[in-house]
Amino acid sequence: MWKLAQAYSASLEEKVKEIAFSMQDFLFFSLRAFRALGASKRYWRDVLDQAYICGTESLPILMVSALSIGSLIVIEVGHQLAEFGAKTMTGRSVALSVVREISPLVAGIMLAARVGARNSSELGAMQISEQIDALRAFGTDPIAKLVVPRLVASFLMFVPLIALCDIVGLISGAYLAEWDLHLDRGIYWNSVVDILRPMDWLVGFSKPPVFAIGISLISCYTGFSTTGGTAGVGKSTIKGIVYSSAFVLVMNFYLSKVILDFMRG
Amino acid sequence: MIELRNVSLRYGAREILKNVSLTIEDKKVKAILGPSGVGKSTIIKLMLGLIKPTSGQVLVDDVDITHFSEVELFPIRQKMGIVFQGNALFDSMTITENMSFFLRENLNLPEEEIEARVKEQMKFAGLEGFENNLPDSLSGGMRKRVAIGRALIFHPTMILFDEPTAGLDPVSSKKILDLIKRLQSEIGLGAVIVTHILQDVFAVADSVAVLYQGKIIFNDAPQKLYDSTHSFITSFLSNPED
Ligand SMILES: Nc1ncnc2c1ncn2[C@@H]1O[C@H](COP(=O)(O)OP(=O)(O)OP(=O)(O)O)[C@@H](O)[C@H]1O
Ligand SMILES: [Mg+2]
């Protein structure tokens, strides 16, 4: 029994060491990426390619998510409000939750899956086929060539993508409110416009740039640290998605909390 | 000249190389023979500074590069071309793009010079007519020759081969080995060939080091292998498919 406990604590210690080491390694990786940011000028073609891929690949799934977000909030909240005879307030609650929370959150998770999986599987495959070593061997910094364009492209694309989600979410809410609650669309839009303050947009739009940085760095890092052949690529792809999504969930909460607390004094 | 001095390397608790010392002369073909997983690719990557030894030193032309940064390593690496085990070609680029990529990246050459150099390599490797093919559409032997062309395009003084004939049919293997010989006799290019195939060693090497369980157990001319009494070498000679 004692032996078992000892063995367990030893393996736990190993695990903790390993995690601490990866965290440190990730930190250095991120620093190198930031230091290499100037390379985005040199690799502007790669930035454009990545931005195009990010936009076209993510758009369909983001639009589907946005449609269901708006509709869902109307079904859930709108009906509750209607019970109290306050269905004219539906636009307010849709607007606040879409712009500040749900749209960035759901879009963030979708992007973590879509963009994160792509980065870690693609870079992982390049790692195990020694293409990343080849870049280094012939004098090209793989972080500048592969990571910086992905980071910059996400940074540029996430804000417009999530803005689009906000708009589609609000519009889908309007139609569903009309259809399901028989709420006039004019009234809906009036209450939307009424309630939204600059602060709400600030909360909403503070998130995509942070998500872009986190998702890109995490998924590129898991790709770069792939070992163990084809199975290794599978593992690092999963890691890329899981850690990126976790990052989105946690940061979504903290950004809302910090900015709202700050603005409310 | 490349020199490893008392180099050790461990991954976690596993010691891959134990106190390895090895010198690679210019203009000579040196083979490093060893069984699968012994650390052959690791040795090649150490020579380029792609990985750092746990202890010991790596010297290139008498300069200690052990603690060099990536930027400091670049001029060193330019002296050495490398051909990776799986070629490591960029699969989204055509053959000519693969060959010219690093020239465009690193040297400020005029476009004509780049084109001339690519042409020269395409011809040397017998790849004319495949300029715009993607690597995936070529045979294994041709891909290998593209990788060799990509390594030669900087006009290095030494070329490092990681298992140049592994996975190739006998005819393609022979072509690659002939190419290595030709490079040595025609332009005096030194080479390191890491391999687990005995025939490769006899076909091209001036000298051979045998790596076994992290140590160099033999380092001499290939014919001397037959004089060795080491049990691994004798069994390897009698049963080279191991
Ligand atoms: N990044 C790494 N982390 C942990 N172990 C590693 C790593 N890279 C290589 N190894 C281990 O080090 C040993 C030597 O690897 P290396 O690739 O140099 O062998 P090799 O002789 O080239 O083998 P092969 O014949 O398969 O090409 C292997 O057992 C491998 O599992
Ligand atoms: Mg190998």
Indicate the helix (H) or strand (E) that contains B36.
Answer: none
Place of tokens 């390397």: B9
Say if residues A143 and A36 touch (Cβ distance below 8 Å): yes
Per-residue tokens: A193:
């416009």
**pLDDT one-digit tens code per residue, B128-166:** 999 999 999 999 999 999 999 999 998 999 999 999 998
Is residue B230 pLDDT above 90, yes or no? yes
Residue A178 or residue A6, greater confidence: A178
pLDDT (mean) for A122-149: 95
Q: Which residues in chain B touch residue A139, judged by CB atoms under 8 angstroms apart?
A: 74, 77-78, 102, 105-106
Q: Is A6 on the interface with B (CB under 8 A)?
A: no
Backbone angles phi, psi at B206, to 5 degrees: -80, -35
Q: pLDDT band at residue B240, thresholds of 50, 70 and 90? A: low
What is the model's pLDDT at position B60? Answer: 96
The pTM of the full predicted model, rounded to 2 decimals, is 0.90
Per-residue pLDDT at A207 exceeds 60: yes
Q: Which pLDDT band holds residue A213 (cuts at 50, 70, 90)?
A: very high
> Distance between CA atoms of A44 and A48, rounded to whole angstroms?
6
Whether the CB of A49 is below 8 Å from some CB of chain B: the reply is no
Number of other residues whose CB lies within 10 A of the CB of residue B69 = 8
**Alpha carbon of A255 to ligand 1 centroid (Å):** 43
Residue B86 has its nearest CB partner, among A130, A137, A138, at: A130
CB of B82 within 8 Å of a chain A CB? The answer is yes
Q: How far is the CA of B40 from the centre of ligand 2 (A)?
A: 5
Domains in chain A: boundaries: 28-263
**CA B123 centroid distance within chain:** 21
Check if B85 has its Cβ closer than 6 Å to any atom of ligand 1.
Answer: yes
**Is B13 near ligand 1, meaning CB less than 6 Å away?**
no
- The CATH class for the domain spanning B2-238 reads alpha beta
Q: Which residues of chain B lie closer than 8 angstroms to A137, CB-CB?
A: 48, 50, 77, 82
pLDDT band at A14 (very low <50, low <70, confident <90, very high): confident
Token digits of residue B146: 């593209």
Predicted confidence (pLDDT) at residue B242 exceeds the cutoff of 60: no
Among B20, B12, B14, B13, smallest CA distance to B55 is for B20
B77 touches chain A (CB under 8 A): yes
Tokens at residue A180, please? 């399901």
Q: How many CA atoms lie within 13 A of A174 on its CB side?
A: 16
pLDDT of residue A34: 97
Q: How far is the CA of A188 from the centre of ligand 2 (A)?
A: 66
| Ligand 1, pocket-test mutation among B9, B15, B20, B42, most atoms within 8 A of CB | B42
- Partner residue opposite A130 with nearest CB, options B74, B77, B88: B88
Alpha carbons B170 and B110: distance in angstroms, whole number: 40
Write out pLDDT tens, residues A214-237.
Answer: 999 999 999 999 999 999 999 999
A196 close to A95: Cβ distance less than 8 angstroms = yes
Tell me what pLDDT residue A56 has: 95
pLDDT confidence band for B241 (50 / 70 / 90): low
- Name B57's bridge partners: B5
The answer to whether A130 contacts chain B (CB < 8 Å) is yes
Question: Of residues B46 and A14, which shows the higher confidence score?
Answer: B46
Q: What is the pLDDT of residues B181-206, one digit of tens each?
A: 999 999 999 999 999 999 999 999 99
Distance (angstroms) between ligand 2 centre and the Cα of B192 equals 13
Here the contacts of A186-194 (C-beta below 8 Å, separation 24 or greater) are A187/A88, A187/A91, A188/A90, A188/A91, A188/A94, A189/A91, A190/A91, A191/A88, A191/A89, A191/A90, A191/A91, A191/A92, A191/A95, A192/A91, A192/A92, A192/A94, A192/A95, A194/A91, A194/A92
Residue nearest to atom 29 of ligand 1 (CA): B37
Under the banding of pLDDT at 50, 70 and 90, the label for residue A51 is very high
pLDDT at A7: 79
